[in-house]
């Protein structure tokens, strides 16, 4: 407890800072709910290089098997997006929609690369990927993992010195997406009705082995 004026003011200031941090805190659950795979973007919003860099800053802090840190990241902003767009496939379960719809294409990407082969690489990549996506959501952006892409074409187009493994498209979503609870045995395939994209997720109790 400070017994002088300046000390008291300092305490009040720190207390206010804590209170405002508390009210602005976003729960992990709300980030997870908003972290839906997004295949339609607001093209008027241009993702900046520094925003992509901040996603990799988050990935830097993730666990890594034997701490080998074998992943590298190529950041792609609007000027280079045309090099990737022809080589990715979005919404494989909805081929009739030819996603992304014209005028909703992503204009930024994080291309995750590695030449290392070990059974841990995919685990590292999964952890880094989800961290990047959650950080994007925290920043008001969304993304989608893209494994369905022409690896050689992307490697050549971006002149990558190491192999691209997974592409994350990043941008401001223009989609309406909802999670639907399902039970074991129900279809897990995502679908669209009207303007809404539905993502079936198994209920927690069905995930538990008894
Ligand atoms: C490793 C991985 C690869 C994926 N590849 C693609 C892809 O190539 N194209 C695509 O449209 N979605 C892709 N997805 C997104 C999934 O379809 C999506 O995660 C799933 O439908 C569940 O939706 P949610 O992410 O909103 O929960 C991929 C997801 C993961 C984890």
pLDDT digits (tens, 9 = 90+) for 11-46: 565 556 545 545 567 899 999 999 999 999 999 999
Tokens 């990737």 belong to which residue?
84
pLDDT in tens, 152-207: 999 999 999 999 999 999 999 999 999 999 999 999 999 999 999 999 999 999 99
Provide mean pLDDT across the span 35-58.
98
How close is the Cα of 46 to the center of ligand 1, in Å? 23
State which ligand 1 atom lies nearest to the alpha carbon of 149: 8
Q: Is the pLDDT of residue 1 over 80?
A: no
Mean pLDDT of the chain: 92
Q: Is the pLDDT of residue 95 over 70?
A: yes
Q: Residue 168: which of 14, 41, 21 has the closest Cα? A: 41
Nearest CA to ligand 1 atom 6: 146
Q: Is the pLDDT of residue 4 over 90?
A: no
d(CA 74, CA 139): 20
How close is the Cα of 104 to the center of ligand 1, in Å? 17
The reply to whether ligand 1 has any atom less than 6 angstroms from the CB of 144 is yes
**What is the DSSP code (8-state) at residue 85?**
G
How are strands ordered across the β-sheet holding 108-113?
72-76, 108-113, 164-171, 142-146
Q: Residue 182: which of 204, 165, 161 has the closest Cα? A: 204
Q: Is the pLDDT of residue 93 over 60?
A: yes
Q: Is the pLDDT of residue 110 over 90?
A: yes
Contact between residue 172 and residue 141 where contact means Cβ atoms under 8 Å apart: yes
Contact between residue 197 and residue 91 where contact means Cβ atoms under 8 Å apart: no
Q: Residue 110: which of 140, 138, 88, 91 has the closest Cα? A: 88
Helix axes 121-138, 49-60, angle to 10 degrees: 130
Higher pLDDT, 17 or 117: 117
Q: Is the pLDDT of residue 6 over 90?
A: no
- Residue 169 CA, chain-centre distance (Å), reads 8
Q: Is the pLDDT of residue 134 over 70?
A: yes
Strand partners, 145: 168
pLDDT of residue 26: 87
Q: In the chain, pLDDT over 90 holds for what percent of residues?
A: 88
d(CA 109, CA 85): 10
In this structure, what token pair is assigned to residue 53?
């860099």
Nearest CA to ligand 1 atom 3: 147
The reply to whether ligand 1 has any atom less than 6 angstroms from the CB of 132 is no
pLDDT of residue 8: 56
């Amino acid at each position: 407890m400070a017994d002088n004026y300046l000390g008291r003011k300092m305490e009040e200031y720190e207390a206010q800072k804590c209170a405002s941090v508390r009210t602005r805190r976003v729960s992990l659950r709300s980030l997870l709910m908003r972290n839906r795979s997004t295949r339609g973007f607001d093209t008027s919003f241009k993702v900046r290089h520094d925003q992509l860099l901040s996603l990799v800053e988050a990935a830097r802090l993730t666990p890594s098997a034997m701490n080998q840190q074998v992943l590298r990241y190529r950041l792609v902003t609007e000027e280079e997006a045309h090099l990737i767009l022809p080589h990715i496939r979005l919404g494989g379960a909805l081929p009739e929609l030819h996603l992304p719809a014209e005028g909703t294409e992503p204009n930024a990407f994080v291309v995750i690369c590695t030449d290392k082969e070990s059974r841990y690489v995919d685990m590292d990549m999964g952890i880094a990927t989800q961290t990047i996506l959650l950080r994007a959501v925290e920043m008001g952006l969304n993304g989608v993992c893209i494994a369905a892409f022409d690896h050689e074409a992307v490697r050549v187009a971006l002149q990558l010195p190491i192999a691209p493994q997974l592409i994350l498209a990043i941008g401001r979503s223009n989609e309406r997406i909802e999670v639907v609870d399902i039970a074991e045995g129900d279809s897990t395939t995502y679908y669209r009705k009207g303007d809404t994209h539905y993502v079936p997720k198994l209920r927690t109790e069905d995930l538990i082995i008894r």
